[in-house]
Structure 1
Amino acid sequence: MDLTYPPEAEAFRAEIRAWLEANLPAGWGTPGFHQDPEERAAWLAAWTTTLFEGGWICAAWPEEYGGKGLSLMESVVLNEEFARAGAPLRADFFGDTLVGPTILQWGTEEQKQRFLPGIMRGETAWCQGFSEPDAGSDLASLRTTAVLDGDEWRIDGQKIWTTQAQYADYMFLLARTDAGAERHAGISYLLVPMRQPGIEVRPITQIDGSAEFNEVWFADARCPKDNVVGGVGNGWAVAMTTLGFERGTSATTGFRRFRKELDAVIDAARRRGRAADPLVRQDLARAWSTVKIMEINGFRTLSAALNGTADPGVAALGATNKMFWSEYHQWFTDRAIDLLGAEGQVLGGSADEELAPGAGRRRGRDDYAPSALQAQFFFARSETIWGGSAQIQRNIVGERLLGLPKEPRPEARAAAPR
């Protein structure tokens, strides 16, 4: 693993750092810097335009589609510098990180020309329509249907745990377009307009008062015939591409949010006089070691990608990374809440903002709001589920890396002799 970046990468780093210093608000990232919610919202709206004009949104995309055509190393440096500064780099996560790259890989030229500009300018908000009440980890059992009716698809069914659906303009949706096909066949990947009759969005209020997840009901909803990505019946392969982008886009920056959170909790332990407690010190040491492993694994993955090596160990890292960090984060936020003692059992509003890693706040209740740390604690409960549950990740590790037999399907187990 070679951690020495080439001179041209460091020159690019200096360019990005200078741009950030020139465009971020005065005092950004320094102790005491503060934006109230209204000021923050206005700044974020203007920042998206600033990012677009600077060419940093989706900068790795080909130049013919508005990007800068950055190399892998340049993309890494870009992500590192924005992470170092704590500056937002995305216009819309679902748009520029998930569906945008999927359209680049699978879409028609007409689809690229139609959808990619809105993603880059931050003008189009997206949500992901995969999970259903009976089709989460077993996604191939989905029941939402899309039936061709003239020049439109007629969609009926239900999706659940759909993040930001109440704000989205489009959903990238998996629907069954051939009821007679095998499980993984007969599924198509559609780009569905959300603001239409026939679609009902029902927010699911969480324990912290936020409602980012939603149920979405389709009853004779409509989608243009040409909005299928990757061809009719090929939705499973297209969806696996999208999930791949979701699971592995931040090799050398993903650990940074955990390190910020850890540093903040260490500071809080010192202020509360708990840093000398042997059990607290042991937990903090374990957390530091785990975050360091994330950092080293990230550089190892990057090194393999740059060198084109096929190290089986690196392949294992890709399969286990999601399971590793999501389970760590649940454990660590448990320990951080324990550190607060009885204080942590009452939603603290802004009282414990010093514990926050700077990731912002979810939309919760104003009259009884969680602290940023408590919001992280609640959200961490979902991290072992979205993007592939921990149980499914263990199946993947066992079957694809260790060569273990495939786990029998429930119907096969029921039919087995006893």
Structure 2
Amino acid sequence: MIQDLMAGLDEAQAAFRTEIRALLSQERVRESAARIAAYPPDTEAAHLDVRRWLGAEGLLAPAWPAQYGGRGLGAAEAALVTEELTRAGIPDDVQVLSIDIVGMMLLHEGTETQRKTHLPPLAAGEQIATVLFTEPECGSDLSALRTRAEPDGDGWRLYGSKVYNMKSRYGEFAVCAARTTASPVPMHGITLFLLPLRSPGVHVEPVPSLGNDTFNLVVIDGVRLTEADVVGQVDDGWRLMNELLQLERTGVDFHAKARRLLDLVLDRAAATGRLSDPAYAVPLAELDAKLHAAHALAWQQVARLDAGSPDPVRSAMAKWYASEQARPVLDAGLDLYGLDAALTAWDGHAPDGGLLEAGYRMGPSHRLASGTSEVMLYLIATNGLGLL
């Protein structure tokens, strides 16, 4: 069980967390989490009843105004939803993509028409939104993207390919980055569009991955979009992408996943009497302390978002530190579980439902998602320390 580290919550925020935990502890949610954990290899979590149940109570997007399906609360409540979903065993990918990233971008940068059209169904858990930035020849360096928006009357036609995106097979629309203006400066001339994923001219196919969920390849062939589909201003996409990544890089979700795994390992160590053995107790105590530190760093970024003053360097620090804890936690679990750690949820005899084995397959993604660890260290070294 995720430890209660949130002594800094005020009374209303603590009550909000209690409300979320009460809903997520219901039998129908526990049964749903068990079904999700037992999904066969070709099935992944996307449109879930749990999200609709939360949405009906205004709990999916609590930081959004009531007219868009939220409660008009703050970043702390939004972060609590992400933490508690992970604690309950509900995958958080859709939450992070649809609510924490795309939804928040539309809330801050979208037009009123875009907000009225897209935010309520996202907040209700009825629709999924995704992000289309990465391309086959463009990974961490988004300034190298090649997807182009060619002028067509009063709009554009988009051409290009996006890869390694999540949930696009199930999404209704995506925030897609495309080049609208040729420029010798690669960061200039990029625009963000709202791309309907089920339009003629959009082809989505799965790309196998080590995790339970697949990546996707999205090929865009001549989809016509207009000014109404632009997020923010034309050619201002680079700034918006960097602001979006700050929303994604608090480290809250990375910490929550590592915390859940470590709690399983600690429970196993206690049940087998290993916590009385210094060979196990000392490294586990060190990992526990590091996750306390990761949690504190992540919630500092949540506080900055709440205050309207996100810090890209400190966000990079929080994301890097939290995501780097996954690997040593998994190694500790392998040491403790032994060969049982290799049993999958589909074997039928895996301890803890095969969560450790699934965690091992997902482990590399912690250091890659939301910006690689190397990119985070580069941001810290250059923008923070002025070393390069």
Displacement of 1:37 in angstroms is: 4.9
**How far off is 1:93 after superposition?**
3.2
Any idea what the Cα deviations from partners look like across 1:278-322, whole Å, max 9, x if unmatched?
543343122112112123334555667778999xxx876433111
- Note if contact 2:262-2:288 (Cα within 8 Å) is conserved in structure 1: yes
Out of 372, 376, 395, the position equivalent to 2:378 is 395
Output one character per residue of 1:192-248: Cα deviation in whole Å (capped at 9) or x when no partner.
11112322222121245x342112222223334420111111111111122111112
- Number of aligned positions between the proteins: 379
Aligned-pair CA distance for 1:331: 2.5
Match status 1:238 vs 2:240:
yes
> How many angstroms apart in 1 are the aligned matches of 2:182 and 2:218?
21
Q: Distance in 1 between matches of 2:259 and 2:26?
A: 24
Inter-CA distance 39–50: structure 2 relative to 1 (3 Å threshold): farther
Give the secondary-structure state (helix, strand or coil) at the position aligned to 2:118.
helix
Supply the AA of the counterpart residue of 2:376: Q
Give the letter for the 2:293 counterpart.
I
Residue of structure 1 equivalent to 2:285: 285
CA contact (8 A) 1:247 1:387 kept: yes
Change (3 A) 1:392 1:346: same
The partner residue of 1:212 within 199, 211, 214 is: 214
Structure of larger gyration radius:
1
Please state whether the residue corresponding to 1:135 is helix, strand or coil: coil
Quick one: distance in 2 between partners of 1:121 and 1:283?
Answer: 43
Instruction: Quote the Cα distance in structure 2 between the aligned partners of 1:397 and 1:137.
Output: 15
Fraction of identical pairs, as percent: 28
Q: How far apart, in 2, do the equivalents of 1:23 and 1:160 lie?
A: 33
Counterpart in 1 of 2:3? none
CA distance in 1, matches of 2:32, 2:215: 31
After TM superposition, list the pairs within 5 Å mapping 1:120-139 onto structure 2. Answer: 120-139=123-142
Query: How far 1:5 moved relative to its partner?
Result: 5.0
Deviation string 1:58-92 (CA, Å, 9 cap, x unpaired) is: 12113343432214566566667777767789974
Alignment root-mean-square deviation, CA: 3.7
Contact 1:127 1:164 in 2 (8 A): yes
Aligned residue runs from structure 1 range 160-179, under 5 A? 160-179=163-182
- Counterparts of 1:355-374 in structure 2, within 5 Å, are 355=352, 371-374=354-357
Q: Which amino acid aligns with 2:384?
A: L
> Per-residue CA shift, 1:250-289, capped at 9, x if unaligned?
4xx8644433321211232355565555543343122112
The verdict on how the C-alpha distance between 1:87 and 1:14 changes in structure 2, with shifts beyond 3 A counting, is farther
Q: Distance in 2 between matches of 1:57 and 1:348?
A: 28
Amino acid at match of 1:201: V
What SS does the aligned partner of 1:160 have?
strand
Q: Which amino acid aligns with 1:168?
A: G
Match of 1:363 in 2: none
Classify 1:10/1:211 alpha carbon distance in 2 versus 1 (closer, same or farther; 3 Å). Answer: closer
1:246 and 1:79, CA in 2 relative to 1: closer, same or farther beyond 3 A?
A: closer
| Structure 1: gaps of 5 or more residues | 357-370, 406-418
Matched, 1:192 2:195: yes
The unaligned stretches of length 5 or more in structure 2 are 1-5
1:219 maps to a residue whose letter is D
* Partner of residue 296, structure 1: 296
TM-score normalised by the chain length of structure 1: 0.77
- TM-score, with structure 2 as normaliser: 0.82
Whether the 8 Å contact between 1:326 and 1:380 is mirrored in structure 2 is no
Match of 2:338 in 1: 341
* Closer/same/farther in 2, CA of residues 46 and 326 from structure 1, 3 Å limit: closer
Whole-angstrom CA distance in 1 between matches of 2:312 and 2:363: 25
**CA separation in 1, counterparts of 2:242 and 2:197?**
23
Deviations 1:87-122 (A, max 9, x none): 789974322111111111111222222221221222
Q: Which residue of 1 aligns with 2:15?
A: 14
On the 8 A contact 1:264/1:354 being kept in 2, the answer is no
Give the match's secondary structure for 1:232: coil
Q: Which residues of 2 match residues 20-99 of structure 1 at below 5 A?
A: 21=22, 24-26=25-27, 35-37=34-36, 45-72=48-75, 92-99=95-102
The superposition leaves residues 120-155 of structure 1 with CA deviations (integer Å, 9 ceiling, x where unpaired) of 222221221111122111110011111121244212
The Cα of 1:167 is off from its aligned counterpart by: 1.3
Cα 1:79–1:191 change in 2 (3 A) is closer
What's the secondary structure of 2:370's corresponding residue? coil
Query: Any idea what SS the aligned residue of 1:381 has?
Result: helix
SS of the residue corresponding to residue 162 of structure 1 reads strand
* CA shift in 2, pair 1:306/1:223, >3 Å: closer
Distance 1:51 1:348 in 2: 26
